[in-house]
Amino acid sequence: MKGKVLICALLASLVLLNLASAEANEIPVSTCQVLDMGNAVYVLQKDIVTSETCFIIGADFVTLDLRGYTVTGANTNVGVDNNGYNSMVLKNGRITNFNKGIYIRDGSNNQIINNNFDFSDDGGIFLRNSNNNLMSDNILNSNEFGIFIEGGSNNIIRDSQIFNSGYQGIRFNYGSTNNEITDTIIQNSVRHDFFIATNSVTQCNHQFTNVIGTGNKPILFFKDSVEISDLDVSEMILCNADNSVISGVTLNNENQQNNGLLLLWTDNTILSHMLVNNSREGIYMEDGNYNTIINSELTHNRQGLEIYRGDGNSISDNHISDNSNDGLTLDNAINSIVENNYLENNGRAGVDISGGALNNIIRGNFIKNNEEVGIDVGDSNNLFFNNFISNQLNVEIDVIDDDEEEIINAWNTDLQNGLNIVGGNFLGGNYWANPFGTGFSETCGDSDEDGICDEPYVLEESNIDYLPLTSIAPKEPSLSITKTQELTLTQNGILSIINTGDMLLTNVTLSAIGDFEIDFSHNNFNLPVQPGAIALTQVSLINLDDLEFGQNIVTITAQSDEGAQDITTFTLKETFCKNGEIGALRINDVSIENADGEDDKWILWDYVEIDIEIKNEGDEKIKDVIVELGLFDSSGRNVADDLEFFGGDEEVEIGSLNDGERETASFKFKVPADFEDGDYKLTVKAYSDELGEENECVDSARDLDTDFFQEIEIEREDDESRFIIFDNVVIEPSETSCGDSVTLTADIYNIGEDDQDRVRVNLVNNELGLDEFVEIMGDFDVGDEESVSFDFVIPNVAKNKIYQLRLSTDYDFKRNAYSESSDEELIELSITACGVTPIVAVDDNGQSGDIIYLGGRADEESEKGFFSNLWEEISSWFG
Average pLDDT, the chain: 88
* Residue 269: per-residue pLDDT: 98
Residue 344 predicted with pLDDT over 50: yes
- For residue 531, is the peptide bond before it cis, meaning its omega torsion is within 30 degrees of 0? no
424-479 pLDDT per residue, tens? 999 999 999 999 999 999 999 999 999 999 999 999 999 999 999 998 766 678 88
Separation between Cα atoms, residue 12 and residue 158, nearest integer Å: 40
What residue type is 254 in one-letter code?
E
Give me the percent of the chain exceeding a pLDDT of 90: 64
What residue type is 22 in one-letter code?
A
Domains contained in the chain, number: 4
Residue 351 predicted with pLDDT over 60: yes
Same domain, 711 and 602: yes
Same domain, 627 and 670: yes
In a domain, 599, yes or no: yes
* Residue 859: per-residue pLDDT: 45
Domain termination residue (choose one: 715, 742, 770): 715
More confident site: 716 or 2: 716
In a domain, 158, yes or no: no
Separation between Cα atoms, residue 175 and residue 700, nearest integer Å: 58
In DSSP terms, 466 is beta-bridged to none
In a domain, 653, yes or no: yes
DSSP letters spanning 61-122: SEEEE-TT-EEE--SSSEEEEEES--S-EEES-EEESSSEEEEEES-BS-EEES-EEE--SS
- The pTM of the full predicted model, rounded to 2 decimals, is 0.65
243-257 pLDDT per residue, tens? 999 999 999 988 889
Which of these, 500, 655, 515, lies nearest to 564 by C-alpha position?
500
Same domain, 762 and 824: yes
Residue 84 predicted with pLDDT over 90: yes
* Residue 849: per-residue pLDDT: 53
- For the ranges 206-220, 235-249, 459-473, the lowest mean pLDDT is seen at 459-473
Which of these, 71, 34, 38, lies nearest to 56 by C-alpha position?
34
Confidence of residue 8 (pLDDT cuts 50, 70, 90): very low
Mean pLDDT over 659-675 rounds to 90
Sheet strands (E) in 419-564: 426-427, 431-433, 457-460, 463-465, 479-485, 493-499, 505-514, 518-520, 525-527, 534-541, 550-559
Mean pLDDT over 606-616 rounds to 93
More confident site: 474 or 860: 474
In a domain, 519, yes or no: yes
Greatest mean pLDDT among 117-131, 595-609, 792-806 lies in 117-131
Residue 118 predicted with pLDDT over 90: yes
Same domain, 860 and 746: no
Mean pLDDT over 12-26 rounds to 46
Domain termination residue (choose one: 574, 609, 628): 574
Beta-strand relationship, 431-433 and 123-128: unpaired
Separation between Cα atoms, residue 28 and residue 736, nearest integer Å: 99
Give me the percent of the chain exceeding a pLDDT of 70: 90
Mean pLDDT over 633-640 rounds to 88
Same domain, 512 and 568: yes
| Domain span at 562 | 479-574
Same domain, 698 and 745: no
Mean pLDDT over 158-176 rounds to 97
Separation between Cα atoms, residue 475 and residue 459, nearest integer Å: 30
* Residue 510: per-residue pLDDT: 92
Confidence of residue 369 (pLDDT cuts 50, 70, 90): very high
* Residue 402: per-residue pLDDT: 63
Mean pLDDT over 340-356 rounds to 95
In CATH, what number is assigned to the domain containing residue 568? 2.60.40.10
Q: What is the DSSP letter of 795?
A: -
Separation between Cα atoms, residue 711 and residue 680, nearest integer Å: 6
- For the ranges 284-293, 318-327, 858-867, the lowest mean pLDDT is seen at 858-867
* Residue 507: per-residue pLDDT: 87
Same domain, 683 and 787: no
Sheet strands (E) in 542-671: 550-559, 565-574, 585-594, 601-603, 607-616, 622-632, 644-645, 651-657, 662-670
Mean pLDDT over 342-346 rounds to 96
Rg (CA), the chain: 44
User: Which burial class, exposed, middle or buried, applies to 164 when counting CB atoms under 10 A from its CB (0-12, 13-18, 19+)?
Assistant: middle
Which of these, 649, 648, 651, 642, lies nearest to 672 by C-alpha position?
642
In a domain, 865, yes or no: yes
* Residue 312: per-residue pLDDT: 98
Residue 137 predicted with pLDDT over 90: yes
Separation between Cα atoms, residue 530 and residue 364, nearest integer Å: 7
Are the C-beta atoms of 683 and 699 separated by less than 8 Å?
yes
More confident site: 580 or 736: 736
Q: Coil, strand or helix: which one is 24? A: helix
In a domain, 605, yes or no: yes
Separation between Cα atoms, residue 341 and residue 712, nearest integer Å: 51
In CATH, what number is assigned to the domain containing residue 689? 2.60.40.3880
Residue 870 predicted with pLDDT over 70: no
Residue 104 predicted with pLDDT over 70: yes
User: Which burial class, exposed, middle or buried, applies to 736 when counting CB atoms under 10 A from its CB (0-12, 13-18, 19+)?
Assistant: buried
In a domain, 128, yes or no: no
In a domain, 636, yes or no: yes
Residue 352 predicted with pLDDT over 60: yes
* Residue 492: per-residue pLDDT: 86
Are the C-beta atoms of 691 and 622 separated by less than 8 Å?
yes
478-504 pLDDT per residue, tens? 889 988 888 887 788 888 888 887 677
Residue 752 predicted with pLDDT over 90: no
Confidence of residue 875 (pLDDT cuts 50, 70, 90): low
169-191 pLDDT per residue, tens? 999 999 999 999 999 999 999 99
- For the ranges 54-58, 608-612, 720-724, the lowest mean pLDDT is seen at 720-724
Cα dist. 862→740, 856, 876 in Å?
17, 11, 21
Residue 721 predicted with pLDDT over 90: no
* Residue 375: per-residue pLDDT: 98
3-state SS record for 472-494: CCCCCCCEEEEEEECCCCCCCEE
In DSSP terms, 293 is beta-bridged to 271, 315
In DSSP terms, 496 is beta-bridged to 482, 536
* Residue 532: per-residue pLDDT: 55
Domain termination residue (choose one: 831, 852, 868): 831
544-556 pLDDT per residue, tens? 777 888 788 999 9
Question: What's the chain's length in residues?
Answer: 879
* Residue 708: per-residue pLDDT: 80
Q: Which helix (H) or strand (E) holds 856?
A: strand 854-858
Confidence of residue 102 (pLDDT cuts 50, 70, 90): very high
Separation between Cα atoms, residue 734 and residue 311, nearest integer Å: 97
Same domain, 550 and 616: no
* Residue 836: per-residue pLDDT: 52
What residue type is 376 in one-letter code?
D
Cα 632 to chain centroid, rounded:
23
671-719 pLDDT per residue, tens? 887 788 899 999 999 999 999 999 999 999 888 877 788 899 998 777 7
Q: What is the DSSP letter of 604?
A: T
Mean pLDDT over 638-658 rounds to 91
**Dihedral angle sign, alpha carbons of residues 590, 593, 598, 601:** negative
417-432 pLDDT per residue, tens? 999 999 899 999 999 9
3-state SS record for 497-510: EEECCCCCEEEEEE
Same domain, 683 and 736: no
Same domain, 611 and 518: no
Sheet strands (E) in 295-382: 297-299, 305-308, 314-316, 319-321, 328-331, 337-339, 342-344, 349-354, 361-363, 366-368, 373-377
Residue 855 predicted with pLDDT over 50: no
Residue 18 predicted with pLDDT over 80: no
Are the C-beta atoms of 44 and 66 separated by less than 8 Å?
yes
* Residue 860: per-residue pLDDT: 44
Same domain, 609 and 675: yes
More confident site: 766 or 502: 766
* Residue 871: per-residue pLDDT: 47
Same domain, 701 and 775: no
Mean pLDDT over 827-849 rounds to 64
